[in-house]
Structure 1
Amino acid sequence: MTKPVVDYSLYLVTDSGLNLPSRTLVQSVEDSILGGVTLVQLREKELSTDAFIELARKVQAVTKKYNVPLLINDNIEVALAIDAEGAHVGQDDISCLEARKLLGPNKILGISTGTPEEAKKALEDGADYIGIGTCFMTQTKSPKRTLGPIGVRTILEALPAESSLKTVVIGGIKNDNTRRVISHSVGANGRILDGIAVVTGVVGAVDAKKASEQLLSEYKAGYDIASKRVQGLVEERASVQDVLKSFSQLLTTLREKSPLVHHISNYVVMNDTANATLALGGSPIMAPSAAEAEDLSKVVSSVVLNIGTLTESFVDCMLEAGKHANAQSKPIVFDPVGAGATTLRESTTRKILNSMHVDIIKGNAGEISTIAKIVGCDTESIAMRGVDSLGSGFSNPAAVVQAVAKRESCVVVMTGLIDYVSDGTRTVAIENGHAYQGRITGSGCMAASSIGCFAAISPNDHFAAAVAGILAINLAGEHAGTRCDVQGPGTFRAAFIDEMANLAPERMLTETRIKSVELSN
């Protein structure tokens, strides 16, 4: 007997406790296979060995009917008794080495891993695949910590690119996060997850067949995105010059459409960000309530998340808003205010980046430095004091924003004396702006709102939206700073918002001071 060839794309892990009472576990397994499940693991922690064997034989009759491999969880005796295709063990179960000795060389053997070290050991010990988790919180386990796509990626990067060890992700994998997890877990070594392992998403579904079909479709979509990233394939994008030429039209469109922009912002600047949104031509809704996030996601055109005010309810609302915005394909702008200044702010930033796909990140050098560290970019470190960066900044800021943008498949905006915007391929330096912008509270938050406005009417090019958002704010700052009635930061604040409303589309292109930065990819 030779070792079976396994397709790990959609890996069902059973749980009788979650199975609906209206059907048997065997029926649930068959329905899921009809929906596209490619591998089944029978997990029964509470059954006696005899009862486990009896159930395993019934499930095996179904898996053999459809030529789908069956693995047994943490019970080598049962796996051998029914001649299953293999087994899966945990870190606290029988060792991988001992399991391999008992199973022999021609059975599939998998092991749960949660760290790079465990993944490397599984490879050394002869596992065929590893289950990487826990990715997100789940009903079936109470993990001490969750990995998220960033943690999963770290484990993938610990494995040699040429290794034959297969990888699946497990823990809270659902229809609304599968695509993001697969596409955002790609390691720098080019490793892509070979599959998703699902429990509740299928076993607990009313229609196991339909749930399986949807999950497999999402996995394939995520894998396609990941493959294109690995191959360096990108969609054809407008040149920087074309982006600049479109600025005037974007501002005109913004004022014509007045898109609704959902803000979850800090209390200190909420009034300013709302007024800036109105002045530019958008329509703000300041709604920090998790209970209405789903309803709002259907009517807003973009979402701006700002962690300046950190309360548990604010964070819960951001997570809900992000989840539903992703589901509705609404762009998300993330302003990680003070990220790196405290442990709470850094952990919240990590949680947000792990819980949703962020389309545009806007921060100062210290905040972007923290995000670079979180996502695993090897860059210089910039310290924070409160919400402000310390020091002179990065020696090569354009390279940093490009690296983070490429790593996270998003647009990154880094504000400072010169602002940098990159989508990982196109990178620009924007020199417009006025010194008073750095001397009033909330100018950075207003920049995030401005980007959110333009993202709402530029859904297919977030780079163009980010460039337009920064240019609009900076040109308004320049106009306000030169007014004769502006005597300092206090009078500048009011004039600043006035000049956002006074921006003339036909003048914009002639006033921009922007340079394209050519960096190697």
Structure 2
Amino acid sequence: MREFSLYAITGEAFHPGRSLTEIMEEAILGGVDIIQLRDKKSSKKVLLEKAKALKALATKHNVPFIVNDHIDVALAVGADGVHVGQDDLPLQEVRRIVGPDTIIGVSTHKLEEALEAERNGADYIGVGPIFSTQSKEDVVDPVTTSYIQEVKKTIQIPFVAIGGIKRHNVQEVLDAGAERICVISEIVGAEDVRAVSAELAAVIKEAKK
């Protein structure tokens, strides 16, 4: 899959009164280089319309578009990939459904899960939550930056750190070995989405030097 550094996930609860596409476009213009639609509450019909709009936006700006969980919606809109959790369909089944060219990401919370995802053909893994977060309804204890260090030493496929990452703690995550950061509320809930995205992108770029 194409290299990326700053991954933004939708979170409409954090920007009431502002449109989904407006927020995500500002994020992309600020430096986000991959986006994901994550929506646990909307009907499939509403989700499909959101996915169509975000796919068009991602195509316009030439960034990958990922759909969380809903494989059927991802296929319906021609999304670049899907992201699944530990309780979703097994990765081999997801691959059988979406085909060889679709990006598959897998959320992992411990090294055994990361190794299994790598063995089964994931294109990238999510590593987290690094810190406590209000963005997910299912509460998982923070894995801390020590999990980043374990993955960095062991896993060969790309990984992205996620969970409670903010401007004030992103350097800690990068220092632990992460090269890709996923952010929800810090970006989509910002008053100036583009500026915050640009700040985070610059910190990641500096860390890679």
Question: TM-score range with shorter-chain normalisation?
Answer: over 0.9
Per the alignment, residue 99 of structure 2 pairs with 104
Q: Amino acid of the residue matched to residue 191 of structure 2? A: V
Partner Cα distance (1:36, 1:78) in 2: 26
Indicate the residue corresponding to 1:7 in structure 2: 3
What is the alpha-carbon distance in structure 2 between the residues aligned to residue 97 and residue 19 of structure 1? 36
Partner of 1:78 in structure 2? 73
CA distance in 2, matches of 1:208, 1:7: 22
Q: Select 1:180's aligned residue among 169, 172, 175.
A: 172
Partner of 1:17, secondary structure, is: helix
Whole-Å separation in 1 of the counterparts to 2:16 and 2:168: 21
What percent identity do the matched residue pairs reach?
Answer: 38
**Alignment equivalent of 1:170, drawn from 158, 162, 178:** 162
Matching of residues 122-271 of structure 1 within 5 Å: 122-141=117-136, 143-159=139-155, 163=156, 165-183=157-175, 185-186=176-177, 193-224=178-209
How far residue 222 of structure 1 moved from its aligned partner, in angstroms, is 2.6
Q: Distance in 2 between matches of 1:18 and 1:137?
A: 17
- Consecutive unaligned residues of structure 1, counting only runs of 5 or more, are 187-192, 225-521
CA RMSD of aligned residues (A): 1.3
Q: Looking at CA atoms only, which structure, 1 or 2, has the larger radius of gyration?
A: 1
Q: Displacement of 1:88 after TM fit? A: 0.3
1:18 corresponds to which residue? 14
- Deviations 1:18-69 (Å, cap 9, x if unpaired)? 2242x20110010000000000000011111111111111111111100011
Q: Deviations over 1:179-230 (max 9, x none)?
A: 22111x23xxxxxx33101001111111110110011111122333xxxxxx
Tell me if the contact between 1:179 and 1:221 (Cα under 8 Å) persists in the aligned partners. no
Residue 152 of structure 1 and its aligned partner are, at CA, apart by 1.8
- Measured in 1, the distance between the counterparts of 2:130 and 2:140 equals 12
In 2 relative to 1, CA 61–144 (structure 1 residues): closer, same or farther, beyond 3 Å? closer
User: 1:358-398 deviations in whole A, cap 9, x for unaligned?
Assistant: xxxxxxxxxxxxxxxxxxxxxxxxxxxxxxxxxxxxxxxxx
Q: 1:415-456: per-residue Cα shift (whole Å, max 9, x none)?
A: xxxxxxxxxxxxxxxxxxxxxxxxxxxxxxxxxxxxxxxxxx
CA distance in 2, matches of 1:174, 1:219: 12
1:89 equivalent among 84, 89, 93 = 84
Q: CA deviation at 1:12?
A: 0.5
**Structure 2 matches for 1:298-377, cutoff 5 A?**
none
Letter in 2 for 1:198: V
Mark the runs of 5 or more structure 2 residues left unpaired by the alignment. Answer: none
Which position in structure 2 is the counterpart of 1:51? 46
Q: TM-score, normalised by structure 1?
A: 0.39
CA displacement at 1:107 relative to structure 2: 0.7
Asked which structure has the greater RCO (Cα within 8 Å, sep 6+), the reply is 2
TM-score (structure 2 length as normaliser): 0.95
What letter matches 1:199 in structure 2? I
Q: 2:110 aligns with which of 108, 111, 115?
A: 115
Task: Name which of 9, 14, 30 aligns with 1:35.
Answer: 30
What is the aligned residue count? 208
Provide runs of 4+ in structure 1 moved above 6 Å: none
